[in-house]
Amino acid sequence: MWAYVTRRILYNVPVFLGIVLFVMLALRVRDPVNSHLGKVKSEQEIKQLRKEMGLDRPFHIQYFSFLGDVCTLNFDDECWDHPGRSVGEVMGESIGPSLALTLPALVLTTLISVSISLVSAWFRGRWMDKALVITAVLGMSVSFLVYIVVGQYMGTTWLKEHTGFAPFAVSFGGYDGEPTAMEMLLEVWPHYYLLPVLISVIVAMGYDTRFYRAVMVEESARDYITTARAKGASRVKVLFVHMLKNAMIPIITRVVITIPFLITGSFLLESYFGIPGMGRELLTAVNHGDFPVVQAFTAVFALVYILSNLLTDVLYAVFDPRVRLS
Amino acid sequence: MSDDKTTQNSPQTVLSVQDLCTSFRTDDGLINAVKNVSFELAAGEFVGLVGESGCGKSVTSKSIMRLLPDHITEYSGAIEFGGTNLLELPEKGMQEIRGNRIAMIFQEPMTALNPVFTIGWQLNEALLYHTKLGKAERRDRAIELLKMVEIPLPEQRYDEYPHQLSGGMRQRVLIAIALACEPELLIADEPTTALDVTIQAQILKLMRDLQEKTNTAILLITHDLGVVAQTCSRVVVMYAGQVVEQASSSDLFHRPRHPYSKALLESIPRSGKKKKGQRLATIPGLVPTLQMMPSGCRFADRCDYKQDRCVDEQPEIGLTEERLVRCHFPVGSAEASEA
């Protein structure tokens, strides 16, 4: 088991090194200092900033120094766009809002989709199953943007006009003072985050339900399911013990490949709902040519991606005894 | 049907299948896979159910266990087991019988065990559903079962996963699972087809030995007549969803009465009997498809003894010299003549 985990970690190291290399090269194709300062600044100022950022050093020195920063999560360069604040500070402030949005969305989507797919598999081929599949297909046929726009309208204007009740806000106005954890959970979160979370769940549900249903249907046709039934297992036992444990492998993979989707999805949601998360922060940084922020955020996203891959591999081994040996 | 009188009321009858018809509702309409199948099994009897692929053997066995998908399957007839008609039993009642009083082993030992649970866990499961044994007792019983099916190092195997065992070992585990609750009837659906010949012989010997010990009735489903000859006392031959002949093994092997049984026996390669240069006999043609069953005898198209009546009229299964044959002109009878 530990040999397996160590091997998986070692496999992922070159992948990470490669991604960081690519990101750094890509960001240096056009001189970041030049495009940030523009033509009006003097040669002296450009040189000055280049020196501050260490961009005048040979590339391999920059590469290893940046790798060191990423591995120790040490981002103390000053943001070009927010003078006086370090990249690390911006990241630290924006990671909370991002997670408050994507984490509940991911957990809810997975729980709901897996449950629906189990219901669907239970009633396989009957009207209940067919109705659920058709709903899922309809759900996934509508664009994400339509859900956001319609959801915003329904959740705010429409709801207020028809019930006089305005539980959601579409634009984040900032907190009044420093909210306590309790206030965050009970007031700020439902007000600003619940609606985008719901929209995100609805969007992902169609895809996920269809995927998980296919997994369940495939599992239900396995020989060992017949064996289990021949042993006298009830349908509940067959579904929740025999099928679900085998289905955990594709479910885990799906959840993890959904993580990058949730990050890109949160670009849109964070922009539309004005949530000060990492997605919106990165988008602004790209627009403003804020080189230190773009470089650090991209590297961190890559790190998260690789860590989630690693997590899948480890979970595989937990759920599938065959993986432990190979 | 006319075969009702043979053994039906004998006291030790374990299973009596009467006029079983199994059909599937499909997009192309109702498809009949098994038609008017009747046979009995006495306690401790070893009966072979023989026929080529697609003849309805597996559907018959899965009908007995009611393992076919409920919502598209229609049954008629009766499957009497221990005084109840299994076809009328609710699913809950079936669950109490499956694995407890009727057990089943399957064709593919490589895939019939759940890959994510240990051997011990899977053995425990049947005991958990059907017995009141405690945890430690179940473990003891499971290890005892593994010993019974001659698995070396049973204590160690108990905690292993299926992928750590060979095919033959897995089939032994499946037999152990099936025998866990000492069933009255064991249905073995092609248990040796996926195994190589030496392992096949071991498994058959094991099944025979265990049967002598436990007096379980065994219904062995196979397309391999060699396997039947080694093990079964009686044979039921199926063709295109119907029983065509039922006889004791020695009768069937020495004097088959149905032309299909005869052709089937002739198509087994045997050493010594063959003249030099003689080709192995085969049965010409194909089994009629379920959608296009002939209205007359289902074997007529491929039969060497075909007469006009065979095409027009479906033969009933009837008693011919102490055995049941579904043929207008059984082999060896006065009316039969080779076309």
Q: Compute, in degrees rounded to 10, the torsion defined by CA atoms A164, A170, A174, A175.
A: 40
CB-CB under 8 Å, B163 with A322: yes
Residue B199, min C-alpha distance to chain A (Å): 21
Taking residue B268's Cβ as centre, other Cβ atoms within 10 Å add up to: 14
CB under 8 Å to A54, separation ≥6 — which residues? Answer: A61, A62, A65
CB under 8 Å to B26, separation ≥6 — which residues? Answer: B72
Strands B185-189 and B217-222 turn out to be parallel
Interface residue of B58, B72, B95 to substitute, partner A, most A CBs within 10 Å: B95
Specify whether the CB–CB gap between B68 and B94 falls below 8 A: no
Q: What is the pLDDT of residue B86?
A: 94
* Nearest Cα residue in chain A from B68: A226
pLDDT, greater one: B46 or A304:
B46
What's the pLDDT tens digit per position in A73-111? 888 888 888 888 888 888 888 888 888 888 898 899 999
What's the pLDDT tens digit per position in A250-289? 888 888 777 766 665 577 888 888 888 888 888 888 888 8
The residues that bridge with B79 in the sheet, in sequence order, are B17
User: Measured in whole angstroms, how far is the alpha carbon of residue A227 from the centre of its chain?
Assistant: 39
User: Measured between alpha carbons, how far is B204 from B231 in angstroms, rounded to an integer?
Assistant: 7
Predicted TM-score of the model (pTM): 0.79
Share of chain A above pLDDT 90, in %: 19
User: Would you call B319 helix, strand, or coil by DSSP?
Assistant: strand
User: Measured between alpha carbons, how far is B29 from A32 in angstroms, rounded to an integer?
Assistant: 70
Which residue, chain included where needed, has tokens 């030496």?
B198
Specify whether the CB–CB gap between B126 and A231 falls below 8 A: yes
Interface residue of B65, B108, B116 to substitute, partner A, most A CBs within 10 Å: B116
pLDDT, greater one: B16 or A169:
B16
| Tally of helices (H runs) and strands (E runs) in chain A | 16, 0
The residues that bridge with B247 in the sheet, in sequence order, are B235
B129 touches chain A (CB under 8 A): yes
pLDDT, greater one: A232 or A159:
A232
CB-CB under 8 Å, A320 with B130: no
Domains by residue range for chain A, with CATH: 99-276 (1.10.3720)
User: Measured between alpha carbons, how far is A211 from A70 in angstroms, rounded to an integer?
Assistant: 35
CB-CB under 8 Å, B72 with A230: no
Specify whether the CB–CB gap between A90 and A283 falls below 8 A: no
Tokens encoding B201: 């012989």
User: Measured in whole angstroms, how far is the alpha carbon of residue A282 from the centre of its chain?
Assistant: 14
B126 touches chain A (CB under 8 A): yes
CB-CB under 8 Å, A321 with B116: yes
Tokens encoding A289: 């040519």
Specify whether the CB–CB gap between A252 and A315 falls below 8 A: yes
Q: Would you say the C-alpha torsion A143, A149, A155, A157 has a positive or negative sign? A: negative
Q: What is the mean pLDDT of chain A?
A: 85
User: Measured between alpha carbons, how far is B316 from B320 in angstroms, rounded to an integer?
Assistant: 12
pLDDT, greater one: B6 or A317:
A317
Residue B117, min C-alpha distance to chain A (Å): 8
Facing A321 at nearest CB: one of B67, B104, B161: B161
Q: What is the pLDDT of residue B52?
A: 85
Return the closest-CA partner of residue A196 out of A261, A118, A276, A266: A266
pLDDT, greater one: A123 or B170:
B170
User: Measured between alpha carbons, how far is A151 from A274 in angstroms, rounded to an integer?
Assistant: 15
What's the pLDDT tens digit per position in A191-226? 888 888 898 888 888 888 999 999 998 888 899 999
CB-CB under 8 Å, B129 with A224: no
Residue B251, min C-alpha distance to chain A (Å): 33
User: Measured between alpha carbons, how far is B165 from B181 in angstroms, rounded to an integer?
Assistant: 23
Residues of B in contact with A120 (CB under 8 A): none
Facing A230 at nearest CB: one of B71, B104, B117: B104
Which helix (H) or strand (E) segment holds residue A111: the answer is: helix A87-122
User: Measured between alpha carbons, how far is A228 from A238 in angstroms, rounded to an integer?
Assistant: 7
Full pLDDT tens readout for chain B, 339 residues: 444 444 444 558 999 999 999 999 988 888 899 999 999 999 889 999 998 888 889 899 999 999 998 888 999 999 999 889 999 999 999 999 999 999 999 888 889 999 999 999 999 999 999 999 999 999 999 999 999 888 999 999 999 999 999 988 999 999 999 999 989 999 999 888 888 888 888 888 888 888 888 889 999 999 888 888 888 999 999 999 999 999 998 888 888 889 998 888 888 877 665 566 777 888 888 888 888 888 889 888 888 888 888 888 888 888 777 788 898 888 877 666 554
Q: What is the pLDDT of residue B339?
A: 44
Q: What is the pLDDT of residue B69?
A: 87
Is pLDDT above 70 for A246? Answer: yes
Q: What is the pLDDT of residue B9?
A: 46
Facing A231 at nearest CB: one of B99, B111, B115: B99
User: Measured between alpha carbons, how far is B232 from B208 in angstroms, rounded to an integer?
Assistant: 9
